[in-house]
Amino acid sequence: MSRTERLFDLIQLLRSYRYPVTAAKLAAQLEVTVRTVYRDIATLQALGAPVDGEAGVGYLLRPGFLLPPLMFGEEEVEALMLGARWVAERADTRLQKSARSALARISAVLPARLRQNLEEAPLLIGPGKALQKQDELLVALRRAIRQQRKVRLRYHSKAGDASERVVWPFAVSFFDAARILIAWCELRQDYRAFRADLIADAKVLSDTYPRRRAELLQEWQAREGIPRQDLSAES
């Protein structure tokens, strides 16, 4: 591990504590010596990181400190590239463009070695079924989810049955074969999943729905037995 990577790991570790943590504990978790932790803490403080504390007492990273997006490990770079390549191949045009833009921004500030890894990541997305373009629909649904607004749908089931209903959209699930809108349905008074390619029309309403989308998502995941996707830290 390079010193840059170790400093990044130290910042991330300090970020996970809400109370002062001793150099000995940090050293054990980073698998380095206590002397190395003291040197690295001093380096971070000299670089402007708001690390409070002192030897023998403990250290605490003050809230609000953000790192620029330029210090990634090699496997983190590969994960970013793999995810972005999937979005660039499978998502609607707006998300495809955003994925490429995000990678370009990250690439611009990466060190040369990691930038080369990003550009040459040997992880590929296999061919999938070509889906009907639904750019306007998916953009509208994502906007409704962000704003927590109700949507009026005209929907045709796979059996051909037509219905009109008002839903509270809170997630879109991306599969190789379909895009699925997950929502609370006022007509059924229950959670429902709607295939995007079977939605004949969708109108985002001015009304916001009365519950938080995160709460709806967690409740639906619990009922379906789907583990929550926590990206904040490794399990």
141 and 219 assigned to the same domain: yes
- Domain of 42, CATH number, reads 1.10.10.10
Looking at the domain assignment, is residue 218 inside a domain? Answer: yes
Going by pLDDT thresholds of 50, 70 and 90, the confidence category of residue 22 is very high
Looking at the domain assignment, is residue 68 inside a domain? Answer: no
87 and 50 assigned to the same domain: no
Q: How far apart are CA 30 and CA 1, in angstroms?
A: 11
Burial class of residue 190 in the structure, from the number of CB atoms within 10 Å of its CB (0-12 exposed, 13-18 middle, 19+ buried) = exposed
Ranges of H-type helices in 174-212? none
Amino acid at 15: R
Q: Which helix (H) or strand (E) holds 161?
A: none
Looking at the domain assignment, is residue 158 inside a domain? Answer: yes
Q: Which of 113, 114, 81, 116 shows the shortest CA–CA distance to 100?
A: 81
16 and 54 assigned to the same domain: yes
Which residue range forms the structural domain that includes residue 25? 3-61
The mean pLDDT of 88-110, rounded to a whole number, is: 83
217 and 139 assigned to the same domain: yes
Going by pLDDT thresholds of 50, 70 and 90, the confidence category of residue 66 is low
Give me the sheet containing 179-185, strands edge to edge.
190-195, 179-185, 162-174, 149-156, 199-208
What pLDDT, on the 0 to 100 scale, is given for residue 176?
Answer: 82
Total domains in the fold of the chain: 3
Cut 0.75: pTM above it: no
Structural domain ending residue among the three candidates 34, 61, 88: 61
Lowest-confidence region among 27-31, 51-55, 67-71, 193-197: 67-71
Say if residue 68's pLDDT is above 70: no
Specify the 3-state DSSP secondary structure of 43: helix
What pLDDT, on the 0 to 100 scale, is given for residue 195?
Answer: 94
Looking at the domain assignment, is residue 164 inside a domain? Answer: yes
